[in-house]
Amino acid sequence: MRRALLIGINNYPGTLRLGGCIEDIHCLKDAIERHGNGEKNFGVKLLEDVQTSEEIMKNIIELFHDDADVALLYFSGHGYVGATGAEIVTPQDVLNSGSYYKGIQMNDIMKIVHKSKVKNKIIILDCCHSGQIGKFDITDTTSVLGEGISILTACREDESAMEAGGHGLFTELLCSALQGGAADFNGNITIGSIYAYIDRSFGEWEQRPVFKTNVSAFVSLKKVEPKVPLRIFRELPNLFSSQDEIHSLDPSYEYTNCPEEQHKLVKPYANKDNVNKFKQLQQLQSIGLVEPVEEQYMYFAAMNSTGCRLTPLGKHYWRLVKNDNI
């Protein structure tokens, strides 16, 4: 069983109103509800513009109450750091206090998560100061991240989370990652690959996402069509007889180098078998497993008769295929 609770709040009082949080949860729902092939993935519950902390806490308790395989909590709204730590804030919290002093303590959320028997517990927060959740405190044993917990937040504890184009900037990247941007060679998307995708998308001077985890292995959150078909991965030992071999190229690998094309031709002309190999090599280059030798592009490596070779990552996958592990 895989379920997700997605909470988005725009309707804060006065100048505190936000614009993209409801859109965020609908974007995320579309991204995780089904796998890339249309099969059912997460059972999703949306909470839009929920007014009180009590309602949110009731739903968080329900989310983590049994031994499901995966439970995912997502919140998009206001966050605040007060004297007692970081909080997520509802409209009623603001109306009752005139400030953010009575929101939901992130430590209280972590206490629920720590007690949960759910195998994989994932918390994703797109709000200001969200990086404080799960922060280690030597005086509080519940701050030590328990087994099976992963936390991904939009920013560090002293930063604000930005909006752009009707979305939280962090959530826009999160949805892009789940739509395939963070998929591995086999089409699996994990919370770890999502963090890596988002982290490299932010500039050095922008908000920085925070990732904390205590898992023995990442669970796949979604499966999409691989960028390169598995059958091409399995050709690696046929394309390279050893992991250190340079696969020699020449103009016969380039399909445009044939008499039917109206440009300068170079012998040897395009050869069907070599053209097919070259297409496979180019696909492997697109995901970082192959690189041209002495040229910037594979086209020129072929036309200038140099070659291509496996990258360190390519050598790793070559060994996996050679040992029949893929």
**Among candidate residues 293, 265, 269, 263, the one with its CA nearest the CA of residue 281:** 293
Say whether both 300 and 215 belong to one domain: no
**100, 169: one domain:** yes
120, β-bridge pairs:
70
Q: Do 95 and 215 lie in a common domain? A: yes
Overall domain count for the chain: 2
**Would the CA dihedral through 280, 283, 289, 294 be positive or negative?**
positive
Largest CA distance in the chain: 80
Last residue of a domain, one of 223, 238, 271: 223
The answer to whether residues 154 and 177 belong to one domain is yes
Residue 172 CA to residue 180 CA, distance in Å, equals: 13
In this structure, the answer to whether residues 217 and 247 fall within a common structural domain is: no
Per-residue pLDDT of the chain (326 residues; tens, 9 = 90+): 999 999 999 998 888 888 889 999 999 999 999 999 999 999 999 999 999 999 999 999 999 998 899 999 999 998 877 666 678 888 887 776 655 556 788 889 999 999 999 999 999 998 864 544 545 443 454 556 889 999 998 875 554 555 555 556 788 889 999 999 899 988 999 999 999 988 887 766 466 788 999 999 999 999 999 888 889 989 999 999 999 999 999 999 988 887 776 667 788 998 999 999 999 999 999 888 999 999 999 999 999 999 999 998 899 889 889 988 87
Q: Which helix (H) or strand (E) holds 210?
A: strand 210-214
Point out the domain boundary residue: 223, 257, 281: 223
Residue 131 and residue 8 in one domain: yes
- The answer to whether residues 45 and 25 belong to one domain is yes
- Same-domain pairing of 94 and 154: yes
> Do 31 and 168 reside in the same domain of the chain?
yes
Q: Are residues 210 and 112 part of one domain?
A: yes
Contacts for 45 with CB less than 8 Å, ≥ 6 apart: 3, 4, 5, 6, 59, 63
Pair 204, 119 in one domain: yes
* Residues 6+ away with beta carbon under 8 Å from 204: none
Q: Which domain holds residue 113?
A: 2-223
